[in-house]
Structure 1
Amino acid sequence: MNSTLLNTGWPMWVMLAIVVGATGIITSRFLDLSAKKIFSAAGRALIQLILIALIISQVSTSWILTIALLLLMLGVAVFTSTQRIETVRWWVPASVIFGGVAPVVELMFGFGVLPVTPLAVIAVIGQLIGGTMSATNLAGRRIEQELSQRAGEVEAALALGFPENAARNLVGRPVAAEALLPGLDQTRTVGTVTLPGAFVGLVLGGASPLEAGLVQLVVLINLLAVQAIAVSLLAMMIERKIGVRA
């Protein structure tokens, strides 16, 4: 009987070494991105995935450890966003990531969609935190760049009598929406262009394609929602200079 799981034997390691090496060469030669960053990212991914697999195997029987792991995920996401968005204090990304994820997770629990089990909670909430972090980083950096490059337009709006937050809104809000485009495109093209990770993982794990598709639908819709909430909150806070470094 053929297994639906991917082959993780030695050929996989050879293939990954070739792919990572080729990616490093391409990015360093054609995209002005150091190959070292590609190798570092791949190495960190390997170490972190091994560690998280070992950790999850232990925390799946303890709610205390489950909550601790989720807090660690949130902390790493906040730290990463604070590094990416240089003009805001750490509690700004903390607020918007938590503010985006919390209400959606509450709805999932309220309607009984998300099982109250450690593994399900870690898998779903972890994915929501990661997706929200990515959108937050992209939105924050784009707003920063736009406000810096188009400072004259902000000053012109102020001269015309606009409140400061409204003047900054005119420049920052349109580009903030760009952070939602990757998630929006993925949702619109799912099943036709892309087969996302949750769907593929469930099918490989033995779930029926229909069950996998419904689970993926829940993940995509909720991910789009948390990203929209987080990006909106971030744009509002930056426009009003809440938590923005002088």
Structure 2
Amino acid sequence: MQNSTLLNLGPLSWILLALLLLAAAAVWRYLLGRSMLEILLAGVRALLQLAVVALLISQLSSHPLLALAFIALMFVIAVWTSGRRISKHGRWWMAALPIAAAVLPVALLMFFSGVLPWNALALIAIIGQQIGGAMATTTLAGRRIEAELLGRRGEVEAAVALGFTWPAARRFVSKEVAGEAVVPSIDQARTAGTVTLPGAFVGLILGGASPLEAGQIQLLVLISLLLVNGLAAWVCLLLSNRQAWMSRDTAQIA
């Protein structure tokens, strides 16, 4: 009988899991010079959170409205995570704008077109991936743009001296790097099926879907993420050009 999971699970898998986490923490600490605790805590949090989420999803499978509440919680956590990476001591809550502006229109389009059904598991799976993609893009785009504006501040000031407004001067510098955060999702779409087989694709086939159906579903996910991530990067660009991540006092000094 074919195994219903992709990997062989058992006691050895837990031992391997611990070894992989320790190895990742060692690389983070000794090769990259960062705190080992950050990786270890991330691994432990992932274990605990996945256990709780698995239990919750099993209870939410027939309650779409409760699934929306769970999605709202996912959104709040994504905003906190991404915003604190970009502006820990500033307006970190501004991360809600790129994430919401990216996810809402795409999710609503999929829902009202009838492609995304009013089903708890489908809502959590699809919108959850979109929130995760928007969160990662917001973090990368926000940090990259802010660093570029800081490093090339002289060019911004020179543009202002030539008559540009401050937002236009910042855009002159930041637009070059705003799209960098979308490149990984572009590469993922370009190499799907050749370099990587996405987990959802493999899982659908293992669950009994035909290869054609699994491929079409995965394609919808990948293409929707391209739009989600592009919108998130664009809104981050707008926010940075207007110094929206900074507190009012910090923005005045800058």
Q: TM-score range by the shorter chain?
A: over 0.9
Number of residues of Structure 1 aligned to a counterpart in Structure 2 = 246
Tell me the residue number matched to 1:137.
139
Return the letter of the residue paired with 2:17. Answer: L
Tell me the residue number matched to 1:19.
20
Tell me the residue number matched to 1:3.
3
Kindly indicate whether the alpha-carbon contact (under 8 Å) linking 2:141 and 2:181 is maintained by their aligned counterparts in 1: yes
User: Higher mean Cα deviation, 122-131 or 188-197?
Assistant: 188-197
Percent identity, aligned pairs only, is 51
Partners of 1:182 and 1:243 lie apart in 2 by 24
1:221 to 204, 207, 223: 223
The SS at the match of 2:134 is helix
Partners of 2:206 and 2:27 lie apart in 1 by 31
Matches of residues 95-134 of structure 1 in structure 2 within 5 Å?
95-134=97-136
User: Higher mean Cα deviation, 45-54 or 57-66?
Assistant: 57-66
Tell me the residue number matched to 2:47.
46
Return the letter of the residue paired with 2:77. Answer: V
Kindly indicate whether the alpha-carbon contact (under 8 Å) linking 1:61 and 1:118 is maintained by their aligned counterparts in 2: yes
Kindly indicate whether the alpha-carbon contact (under 8 Å) linking 1:92 and 1:234 is maintained by their aligned counterparts in 2: no
Tell me the residue number matched to 2:185.
183
Matches of residues 57-72 of structure 1 in structure 2 within 5 Å?
57-72=58-73
TM-score, with structure 1 as normaliser? 0.95
Q: C-alpha displacement at 1:88, in angstroms?
A: 5.1
Structure 1 residues 210 and 33, CA, compared in 2 at 3 Å: closer, same or farther?
farther
Q: C-alpha displacement at 1:228, in angstroms?
A: 0.5
Cα-Cα RMSD:
1.5
Partners of 1:196 and 1:243 lie apart in 2 by 34
Matches of residues 27-38 of structure 1 in structure 2 within 5 Å?
27-38=28-39
Partners of 2:93 and 2:27 lie apart in 1 by 37
Partners of 2:140 and 2:242 lie apart in 1 by 19
Kindly indicate whether the alpha-carbon contact (under 8 Å) linking 1:96 and 1:233 is maintained by their aligned counterparts in 2: yes
Q: C-alpha displacement at 1:243, in angstroms?
A: 5.3
Can you list the C-alpha shifts for 1:66-125, whole angstroms capped at 9, x where unaligned? 121011000000111120111752442111111111111111112211111111001100
TM-score, with structure 2 as normaliser? 0.92
Partners of 1:74 and 1:224 lie apart in 2 by 19
Tell me the residue number matched to 2:80.
79
Tell me the residue number matched to 2:150.
148
Q: C-alpha displacement at 1:127, in angstroms?
A: 0.6
User: Higher mean Cα deviation, 236-245 or 54-63?
Assistant: 236-245
Structure 1: stretches of 5+ with no match in the other structure: none
Structure 1 residues 214 and 88, CA, compared in 2 at 3 Å: closer, same or farther?
farther
Structure 2: stretches of 5+ with no match in the other structure: none
Can you list the C-alpha shifts for 1:1-30, whole angstroms capped at 9, x where unaligned? 121413222121011112112222222221
Structure 1 residues 224 and 179, CA, compared in 2 at 3 Å: closer, same or farther?
same
The SS at the match of 2:75 is helix
Partners of 1:88 and 1:113 lie apart in 2 by 39
Partners of 1:88 and 1:197 lie apart in 2 by 36
Q: C-alpha displacement at 1:144, in angstroms?
A: 0.9
Partners of 2:62 and 2:2 lie apart in 1 by 31
Can you list the C-alpha shifts for 1:158-203, whole angstroms capped at 9, x where unaligned? 1111111110001111111100011111011111111122112222
Partners of 1:45 and 1:204 lie apart in 2 by 24
Tell me the residue number matched to 1:192.
194
Partners of 2:156 and 2:136 lie apart in 1 by 27
